[in-house]
Structure 1
C-alpha cells in the first residue's frame, strides 16, 4: 500500500514547483490554497476547510511540502524560497547563502512529519485517510463520469482501470510527470493535465477500494 505521507508530499511538491512564476512575484498561503481548490487541481475542499482541525492539517501539509521544495531549490541553486503565511516569495540565491548557517525553527517544525499528529503510526495513517477523504469532498461515495475516467486514463496512458492499484497509478504518474514537468523541459499545461488525471483516478480507485 502506498505511503500516504510520501504520496501527499510528492503530489503537492509537484504542483507547487509549477508555481515558480507566482513565487517570483510573491503569493500568499491563502492564494495558493484558493488555487488548489480549483481545477485542474481540485485538491482541497471548501466544506472540509471549515473545520478548524482540517484547516490546520491543510496548512501543515502545504508548508511541509513548501519547505521540502525550498530545500530542493536550494540544492539546485534555483533560488531561496522565503516562506510565510502572508507572503511566499522566491528570491535569488546569494553567493554567501550556502555557507550561512542560520537557525530555522519554523522549517524544523514543518519538516518534522511527527508534528502532523502526536498519535502513533496507526493513528497517523487513519488521520491521513480521513484527510484524503475530506479533501475529496468529504464523501467517500466519490462519483465521476465515464467520460472523465476515459480522459484521465488517456492522459496517463493507461489502457485499463481494471485491477489497477494505487501503487501502479503512482508509478505511471511519476513517469509521465518526470517527462512533462516544466523543470524537465515540459510545459505547465502538460504538467497540470497529468496532475488532474492523477487526482481523478486516485479518488476513483480509493473509493472503489473502500467499498
Structure 2
C-alpha cells in the first residue's frame, strides 16, 4: 500500500508548476489567485477579506515556497526568490544556500505550530502593532511592514509602493467585501510612504 503524499508537498508541487509557467515571476497575490483558479484543495477556498483566512492562506503558500526552495537547493536544480511582491524561480547558485542557513522567515513558515497557534486575535495584533509603531515614531517601518515591503530584495521606489497599494486596496475595499477599518489603515500607510519616497 502506498502512503498518501503530504498535502504540503502537493501544494509545493502545484506552486512549482505555476512558477515554471511564469518565468518572469509573479506576486504572492497573483500566485494565490492562480491556485484558486486551478481549484487547489490545499489552501482555503474562501475570500481573502477575512483576516484569519488571509493569514492562513499566506502561511500555507509561504510554507510551500520554503519547502520548494529547500528541495531545489538539495537537488541543485534551481533557486527561489521569495517575497510577497515577487516570487521567481532562478538558476541554481552554489553560494545561495549559505544565505539561507539562518533565515528566521524560513524557520517561521516551516514550523506548522505558527499556523496552528495563530488565531484571529493574534492576526488582529499585527494590525494593532502597526498603529502602535506609528504613535511610537516608527511610522515608515510600520507602513512598510503593513505593505509587506520591509524585506524587499530590491531598492524601493514610489512606483513599486503604489503598485502594492493598489493591490491591497483591491483586496480590502468594502465594495468587494473588505473592511473599512483595514482600508483606512492601508490609506494611512500610503500617506506615510509617499512622504518618504516622493
Q: Structure 1-normalised TM-score?
A: 0.48
Partner of 1:18: 17
CA contact (8 A) 1:70 1:80 kept: yes
CA 1:47/1:20 → structure 2, altered by over 3 Å: closer, same or farther? Answer: closer
Aligned ranges 1:1-211 → 2 under 5 Å: 7-22=6-21, 24-39=23-38, 41=40, 47-98=46-97, 102-118=101-117
Alignment check: 8 A CA contact 1:82 1:90 kept: yes
Please state how far the C-alpha of 1:52 moved relative to its aligned partner: 0.8
Deviation at 1:9, TM superposition (A): 0.7
Asked if the contact 2:11/2:42 (under 8 Å) is kept, the reply is no
Whose relative contact order is higher, 1 or 2, with alpha carbons under 8 Å and at least 6 apart? 1
Q: Would you say the 8 A contact 1:23–1:88 is kept in 2?
A: no
Alignment length, in residue pairs? 117
Q: Secondary structure at the match of 1:15?
A: helix
Deviation at residue 7 of structure 1 after TM alignment: 4.0
Q: How far apart are the structure 2 equivalents of 1:30 and 1:85?
A: 8
TM-align CA RMSD: 3.0
Q: In the superposition, relative to structure 1, how do residues 40 and 49 fare at CA in structure 2: closer, same or farther (>3 Å)?
A: closer
User: Aligned pair in 2 of structure 1 residues 101, 38: CA closer, same or farther (>3 Å)?
Assistant: closer
**Residues 1:34 and 1:82: Cα distance change in structure 2 (over 3 Å):** same
Structure 2: segments with no counterpart, 5+ residues: 120-198
Q: Is the 8 Å Cα contact of residues 19 and 88 (structure 2) preserved in structure 1? A: no
CA positional deviation for 1:38: 1.0
Provide the residue aligned with 2:172 in structure 1: none
Q: Is the 8 A contact 1:13 1:66 kept in 2?
A: yes
Q: Stretches of 4+ moved more than 6 A in 1? A: none
